[in-house]
Amino acid sequence: MLARPSLVAAILFLLSSPAPAQQAIAAPSGVVIPVVLSQPISSKDARAGQTFAFRTTTDTRIENLDLPADTPGSGVIARTHAAGGTKGAELELQPQALHLASGAIVAVTLAPSDHNAAAKRSRSHIFPFPIILWGTPFIGAFLSPARDVTMPAGMRFEVVTQQQ
């Protein structure tokens, strides 16, 4: 038995329809929420635009919205640069959203007071020392090459709610 063309067309339409967008919840701006990084991130292998995960560490109430501890969040790596020779390393995170159990999201950004926690840099160091050769003073130096920076899992920082 053949299916009617309208039934086939309806099934194909439903299968090809995009998934519904996540609903953003309007939360008041400026609510500070403590979070921790879910996995380690290193400037050695991270790439700008790559996503990362974090989670809340405490129960937080935002007006009539309860965010339990361990609410997952996500963001993107804003900047990264691996160390190389005298070239320093850089790694900067940009939190974007908390994902509620209902499927809705709350927009967040990095708390201004925590910018240093989610942006790490390293650089090379030069250590000068005097040398006397054949009675003539010279300046020598040791170069300490820059190292990659790593943000460990469990690293604490704060996000703040923002209007979308």
pLDDT at 124: 45
Residue 35 to residues 13, 19, 50, 90, 102, Cα–Cα distance (Å): 41, 29, 19, 21, 20
Q: In whole angstroms, give the CA distance from residue 100 to residue 141.
A: 54
- CB burial class (10 A; 0-12, 13-18, 19+) of residue 46? buried
Nearest to 126 by CA among 147, 148, 142: 142
pLDDT at residue 8, rounded to an integer = 46
Domains of the chain: 20-161 (2.40.128)
State both tokens at 37. 């990084």
Question: pTM of the predicted model, to two decimals?
Answer: 0.71
pLDDT in tens, 90-124: 888 999 999 999 999 999 999 887 666 665 555 54
For residue range 10-43, list pLDDT tens digits in order. 444 444 444 445 688 888 889 999 999 999 999 8
